[in-house]
Structure 1
Amino acid sequence: MLHLIDSLHLNTPNVICVAVLEAEDGTLVMIDCGPEIVFANTIKGLRQRGLPPEKVGHLLVTHIHLDHNGGAWRWQKEFGTTVHVHPAGAPHMVNPAKLVASATRIYGERMAELWGEIQPLPESSVAVTTDNQEIQISNLQLKVIETPGHAQHHNAYWFEAERILFAGDVAVVAIGNGPVVPPCPPPDIHLETWHQSIKRVRALNPAQLLLTHFGLRQNPEAHLQELESRLENWADWMKLRLLEGKSEEQIIPQFQQLTEDELRAAGVTQPDLADYEQADPAAMSVTGLSRYWRKYHPEAIGEK
């Protein structure tokens, strides 16, 4: 049985969804636990559904970004949870120093406010995944689908019994019935790889996509088409700004206006505008897209 828990990040609904599968033997399988700061809220959500937190035996990590799995260490420490993670992400969960440094460059003094505490996982608690691996937990079977692009260490998890893909951020952000927006964080967003991952998602023909930001989406093909279109449009828009010689500091307010205009045109109003910004900060995507062009296609923006 699938349970969806709103972790109420910063006391805001519809930003970070924690998905939990309940196996026949009572084991709970969590997909993306969120940051440590929502640990207590998630515990409360489990208990409200009659689910004992100590039964969370497995955590399937889509990727190691702090909004998705910064709290993994807490579940392992409190309940001995086994943490399943992509091989490129595993070292950073055992030693999160580089992960913390990278996030601090984006969030600065807000790190503790946004994510809570960050601690290393014992190496013995980490189960490194492989592509197409079948993870069997009691009656539940989930297949690892490597889906890089948003991050090189990204997995999705295919629950074929219900034709649900736990998509993490490969299928990005959509709040309520709102539009699809792609978070583009540094350091390793790669658009060509992301499009290949979208093709792989499409080939599964899922009935539903489960998004960490936020919840189940019932029309995967329309969702993926909108994602691909906006990803390309945002990348092209950023390329033009860089060709104009503008700095990231100059681009950020323009990009914030662009995204707000797009959201409003799609019918999004407050407080959902703020929820989108919380789930997908404009400054983060500006930095990520700028880095993408400078690292992979400098000639396209007039750089050597």
Structure 2
Amino acid sequence: MVHVIDLNFQGISQNIAAFLVETDTGPILVETGPHSTLPSLQKGVEMAGYRLEDIQHVFLTHIHLDHAGAAWWFARNGANIYVHPRGSKHLAAPERLMDSARRIYQDKMDELWGEMHQINPALIVEAEHEAAYEIGQKTIKAWHTPGHAVHHIAWQIGPNLFTGDVAGVSINQGVVIPPCPPPDINIEDWEASLDLLKKIKPERFCLTHFGPVAYSEEHLESLRSRLHKWADWIKPYYQEGKSVEEITPLFQAMVKNDLETSGVDSTDMAKYEAANPSWMSVAGLLRYWKKKEA
């Protein structure tokens, strides 16, 4: 059984999810969310009939703070932390990761994300592509899926594929949009990952932002289309040498119009923005074009 736990990040529902998966040897956790939402995670785990301390296996799709920020807490209680090999060093020594985030979020850093501490390397499991782990009666398989981040994994457990950010953000099973924060956005890698998801073809995607959606090629192609639309929108501004500050309000207006035209109401609009701040995609897509045209 899979329990979807709403972490109510910043008091907003259907924003960040963690997933508690029952096995016959105890629960496992896919995604931890940020440390700031640990009380909500604890409440959700207890509602499912477990304690946080019961969790001895944590599977991370990638190391961004909204997905992995509380992983250290579980490691301190002896849990194994499963992560992409290219992300493991940032869990063992998170100073660079946190310094980078602090430059972006500045004085809101602690309120948004809470703490992050080192994880004992002995508890970090570097998951290679297609690695499989047997925990109780469950098999958990790693699929390397770069594009959003070079250290991204989609985890397959039975009919469920826990997709992190590679399958996009969809609130209330609505329009699907691509989260494009710096520094790793790569459109070509992301397209290859979407092709891989088509080959895997699970019954459902479990989106960290937010919740289960039935698998469909339409979902993937809508994401692919919007990924190109947003990247192509940014390109002329990059070529003109426009700054992030100049582009951001224009991009935010474009995204707002895109979502409104797709039928997203004001309540869900706020949830989309909380899960995937549109201003972050400006820097991510500008960096993509800079690397591509270098």
TM above 0.5, yes or no, is: yes
Q: What is the alpha-carbon root mean square deviation over aligned residues?
A: 1.1
In structure 1, runs of 5+ residues without a counterpart are 299-304
Q: Secondary structure at the match of 2:24?
A: coil
Partner in structure 1 of residue 116 of structure 2: 118
How big is the shift at 1:105? 2.5
Of residues 211, 233, 240, the one that matches 1:237 is: 233
Partner in structure 1 of residue 132 of structure 2: 134
How big is the shift at 1:103? 1.4
Equivalents in 2 of 1:133, 1:184: separation in Å?
27
Q: 4+ runs of 1 displaced by more than 3 Å?
A: none
Counterpart mapping for 1:31-50 below 5 A: 31-50=30-49
Counterpart mapping for 1:38-187 below 5 A: 38-77=37-76, 79-159=77-157, 161=158, 163-187=159-183
Deviations 1:247-294 (A, max 9, x none): 111100001001111111111122211111111111210000000101
Equivalents in 2 of 1:220, 1:112: separation in Å?
38
Counterpart mapping for 1:223-302 below 5 A: 223-298=219-294
How big is the shift at 1:244? 3.2
How big is the shift at 1:177? 2.6
How big is the shift at 1:296? 1.7
Q: Secondary structure at the match of 2:146?
A: coil
Structure 1 contact 106–284 (Cα < 8 Å) conserved: no
How big is the shift at 1:42? 0.6
Among all aligned residue pairs of Structure 1 and Structure 2, give the percentage whose two residues are the same amino acid: 40
How big is the shift at 1:223? 0.9
Structure 2 contact 180–285 (Cα < 8 Å) conserved: yes
Corresponding pairs, count: 294
Equivalents in 1 of 2:146, 2:202: separation in Å?
18
Equivalents in 2 of 1:91, 1:244: separation in Å?
37
Q: TM-score by structure 2 length?
A: 0.97
Deviations 1:122-179 (A, max 9, x none): 11111111111111101010111000110000011112x3x21110111121111321
Q: TM-score by structure 1 length?
A: 0.94
Equivalents in 1 of 2:138, 2:293: separation in Å?
43
Structure 1 contact 206–220 (Cα < 8 Å) conserved: no
Q: Secondary structure at the match of 2:139?
A: strand
Equivalents in 1 of 2:206, 2:12: separation in Å?
19
Structure 1 contact 17–214 (Cα < 8 Å) conserved: yes
Q: Which letter does structure 1 place at the counterpart of 2:226?
A: R
Equivalents in 2 of 1:142, 1:219: separation in Å?
18
